[in-house]
Structures are given as C-alpha cells and as structure tokens.
Amino acid sequence: MEEMPLGVMTWVLSDPFKAVELAKAVGVKTMQLGCPRDEYYEEKKKEEFKKFLKKSGIKVTTVFCGYAGESYESMDAIIETVGFRNPKLREERIKKTFQISDFAKELGVNVIAAHVGFIPEDRDDPVYKGMVEAVRKITVKKTGNTSP
C-alpha cells in the first residue's frame, strides 16, 4: 500500500497565497485548500494563483467548501448555520458549491469536500429530505451518477 503524504488543511475564506506559504513553511508537500474569498474566482486572480501554486511545488488534493454565515462557535450555531440544513440558504450554497468545484477543476484538483450539516435521523423530516436532495443535486450534476 502506498504511503499517504502528510499535509495541512487551511481555513476557508483565507488568502490562498498565504495558505500555500503555510504549507511550505511547515514542510509539507500536500494540502487541502479552504475555498478562497470570491475575488479569487475572477479570472485575473485565479490565473495568478494557479501560476503561484504550480511554482510552489505544493499539491492541492482537495478544495474545501465553505459558506457565508457558517459559525462553529457553539453546537447550536453549528446545527443552525453549517452546510445545507437551513432551507433558506440551500440553493445559494448549492450554487456556491458548483463555483468552488469549477475553481478546483481549474486548479487541477478533482476533489471537493464540505460539511453538509447535521442530518436528522428521521427520514420523514423535511430537513432530512431537503439535505439529501441538495447533496444529490451536487453529485448528479458533477458526476452524472444518479444512484443513491
């Protein structure tokens, strides 16, 4: 079995240039990149970062999705704000996930990750159904796989 390299994960919405510098500073060659602020999806900034990343020698294995308004300050905040649990934020966050996925692909990264939120145990709960549907929309659009 191939040994997995040690890496770092950088914070969502942080400066991706500083994130890569952090990885270099601690001596790792791989990292999970927290999705950057919106300005990095614009062509000029994105191209600048792609060149910087290539020159750095750091391999990004995953781009991690993060969404405006998420809070990890308390368990209640996590339950209410993280991922796709809040129906009022779901469509906006699905759209953001596609944007992050496209950004990752342009960097040559084939994997995105996200906290989808706390999923209710009751499969009849409308929140459960909405969360499953949100994840299904993302995976079907990006993979073409329709199996549950």
Using an 8 Å Cβ cutoff, are 67 and 108 in contact?
no
CB atoms within 10 A of CB 24: 15
What is the C-alpha to C-alpha distance for residues 96 and 4, in angstroms, rounded to an integer? 30
Domain residue spans of the chain: 7-143
Reported CATH class of domain 7-143:
alpha beta
Tens digits of per-residue pLDDT, 79-101? 999 999 999 999 999 999 999 99
CB atoms within 10 A of CB 42: 10
User: Would the CA dihedral through 11, 62, 54, 28 be positive or negative?
Assistant: positive
Strands 30-34 and 59-64: parallel
Residue 146 has pLDDT above 70, yes or no: no
Tens digits of per-residue pLDDT, 105-124? 999 999 999 999 999 999 99
User: Would the pTM count as exceeding 0.95?
Assistant: no
